[in-house]
Chains A and B, each alone.
Chain A
Amino acid sequence: QVQLVESGGGVVQTGRSLRLSCAASGFTFAVSPMHWVRQAPGKGLEWVAFLSNDGTTDTYADSVKGRFTISRDNSRNTLYLQMNSLGADDTAIYYCARDREDGSFDFWGQGTLVTFSS
């Protein structure tokens, strides 16, 4: 069965960096476009970034463009999100999600929490 398992979240200080990982299994990762979506505490879903199956096309929400980088290693079935210059507004649960190939998300991980310490 399809599984997506995020890791790498934690407590960070403003201005620091963090890299999230999403380990995929149960499907052919190399043919699947992927996304990161986040959800701040008590708030709605916010799309963060998209990456094509071959890693050649990446797009970002305006709120993270220039600070976050999405990447993948198809040989390791893993998706990444490098987050730089983090701020309190980036506090959220970060989910990785598989693209159904129509721009919708058919499978989601359980999420990894990123929080801030002053």
Chain B
Amino acid sequence: SYVLTQPPSVSVAPGKTARITCGGDNIGRKSVHWYQQKPGQAPVQVIYSTTDRPSGISERFSGSNSGNTAALTISRVEAGDEADYYCQVWDSLIYHCFFGGGTKLTVL
């Protein structure tokens, strides 16, 4: 099993930058994916392969990964960014997926 650790909550003022971390053993060697989930809705992918944005996702969303910490950065935060965010990795040796516990982003 591979454990991914996220902070339960992050708060940020509108217009500022939010950074949501995802910790894991040598996660810097892995490809990390991120999802946004708003209340009552299905998750939406916002970053794949650590740094790539799916079509239609704002360039304000970016990803990074090094050592034991991956991060999702949201610049110029807007009220509409308030949601739960999940990191995820795929183990291609055993074909298993692992999710972080999720981080609730609050826009003050």
Contact = CB atoms under 8 A, between A and B. Distances in A.
Given A45-B37, A102-B90, A105-B35, 5 more contacts: A95-B43, A103-B33, A104-B45, A104-B88, A105-B43
A27 to B, nearest CB: 14
Given A44-B101, A50-B97, A106 B35 contact: no
B23 interface: no
B35 A57 contact: no
B95 to A, nearest CB: 4
Interface of A: 35, 37, 44-47, 50, 57, 59, 61-62, 95, 100, 102-106, 108-111
- Chain B, interface residues (CB within 8 Å), range: 20 to 34
A46 B4 CA distance: 12
A16 to B, nearest CB: 26
Q: Which of B42, B88, B91, B94 has the most CB of A within 10 A?
A: B42
Contact of A59 (B37, B48, B95): B95
